[in-house]
Amino acid sequence: MRVLYWFRRDLRIRDNKALIKAVSKADKVVAVFVIDPEALRDRKINFDDPRFIFLLDALKNLSSKIRLHVLYDRTREAFEHLLGRYKFDAIYTASPLSWHEDTLIQEVKDICGRSGVRLIEVVDNLLADPSSVGSPINFTMFYRRWRKLVNAKTVGEIPSDNIVEIDETDLNELCRKNGWRIPEKRMWRADWYHHRLQSFNYRKYAVSKDYPYLDGTSKLSPYISLGIVSVREVFNQAVKLSEEFVRQLAWREFYYYLKYRYPHMKNLELNPHRRGIAWENDKYLISVFKEGKTGYPIVDAGIRQLKTEKWMHNRVRLIVANFLVKDLLVDWRIGEEFFKEHLIDYDEVLNIGNWQWSASVGIDPIPIRIFNPTTQAEKYDPSCHYIKRYIPELRDYECEKILNPIKYKISNYYEPIVDHYERIRKFKDIVSRARENSTYH
């Protein structure tokens, strides 16, 4: 029996349940990964982008452990080629988690149906199956149920003897052909998680996670997003040291649960009373926001970090998202798309869920959650270490003035593009009007 194993967001051989299932069922396994140019274009990723280099690095590490064929083609064409040229009894892959993956799986299923090949999906990359949680009405209830359902038992590396080659390209050939290279100096290294998993101070996480000038978050999200590390391994490392860290892993799975239960949340607000908000979507304000020139240093610093590192501290993500929606009155979908175009740890479901939460249009027990950029900066970056790291032109200014740009004018820096207090009153007004016009009462 010969089967095809399709890697997607599970770029590892350790604790990979779908891969182990394939190896256990077949005499010969052919392993493939498809770099889809359409997906790259959709996220505006070019070949020297840190996100593409990170992916290449992860594939290089995987290729050093097993025989891996890498195709550069649209997913549909790649599988039509593979199933047209070779005989396979089945295709194994991890069950999809996002809407984008749902579409890809369906395309490949259609090809398999025409070719008489079974597509076998194996639930993985989760600590609990979303379909088994029931119908919790909020995160707290979800967390209690989810905690009892967590299955963090891991399995080792797969034996690679029955992973075989076919006459297709590998990563080295593709890199030579397309001029792709992995620079020696790079911010995100695919093997860094080994060290981080062991060395991160989980005990201090609950206290340090909200301060962006500290090394207080694990930065494992890009590795979890691509499946370079198993989420079960992360859970097992953290569970005895930080329940707060475990809660953050649960938030990840809460959004997958919401996607499973409410698939329409991709484009539609989960809170029916918040549909039809009259967003202003001022093109000038959106442009200035994306350039990191809002005049609110904590927001601008976050944008600069995002665009240079392709990552942003989580507390700052909340401040930035809240500012775009509630201060600039911009549709949360525009913010979601902006993060999609930059984040190295981008996950469609988590990004949409978090933007809905930040916009107060998703599931949140607090009706309207306001993040004042001034008080947030004063609380979480009181000495301006984070701001000055990403906005060095403010290095010589007094921190008190930097933190409160409405009260103090900073020479040679952008003036605040809006007054936070005035805009929040306006946001509440348009939300109130949306509720009055809502058909859900």
Q: Each residue of 138-195: pLDDT tens digit?
A: 999 999 999 999 999 998 888 778 899 999 999 999 999 999 999 999 999 999 999 9
Decide if 390 contacts 304 (C-beta within 8 A): yes
d(CA 420, CA 417): 9
| Residue 419 half-sphere exposure toward CB, CA atoms < 13 A | 6
d(CA 400, CA 327): 22
Q: Which of 112, 154, 155, 125 is nearest to 23 (CA)?
A: 155
DSSP output for 161-176: TTB---SS--HHHHHH
pLDDT for 76 equals: 97
pLDDT for 438 equals: 67
Count the residues in the chain.
441
Task: Please count the other Cβ atoms lying within 10 Å of the Cβ belonging to residue 115.
Answer: 15
d(CA 293, CA 208): 28
d(CA 383, CA 439): 48
Q: Which of 169, 188, 154 is nearest to 13 (CA)?
A: 154
Query: Token pair for residue 199?
Result: 């060395």
**SS3 of 381, please?**
coil
Query: Token pair for residue 220?
Result: 């494992």
**SS3 of 26, please?**
coil
Residues sharing a CB contact under 8 Å with residue 118, sequence separation 6 or more, in sequence order: 89, 90, 91, 112
For every one of its 441 residues, what pLDDT tens digit does the chain have, with 9 covering 90 and above? 999 999 999 999 999 999 999 999 999 999 999 999 999 999 999 999 999 999 999 999 999 999 999 999 999 999 999 999 999 999 999 999 999 999 999 999 999 999 999 999 999 999 999 999 999 889 999 999 999 999 999 988 887 788 999 999 999 999 999 999 999 999 999 999 999 999 999 999 999 999 999 999 999 999 999 999 999 999 999 999 999 999 999 999 999 999 999 999 999 999 998 999 999 999 999 999 999 999 999 999 999 999 999 999 999 999 999 999 999 999 999 999 999 999 999 999 999 999 999 999 998 878 899 999 999 999 999 999 999 999 999 999 999 999 999 999 888 899 999 999 999 999 999 999 887 776 654
Domains and CATH numbers, the chain: 1-124 (3.40.50.620), 126-157+194-261 (1.25.40.80), 266-435 (1.10.579.10)
Q: Which of 349, 308, 356 is nearest to 331 (CA)?
A: 356
Q: Each residue of 73-129: pLDDT tens digit?
A: 999 999 999 999 999 999 999 999 999 999 999 999 999 999 999 999 999 999 999
**SS3 of 14, please?**
strand
Residues sharing a CB contact under 8 Å with residue 230, sequence separation 6 or more, in sequence order: 12, 14, 15, 16, 125, 154
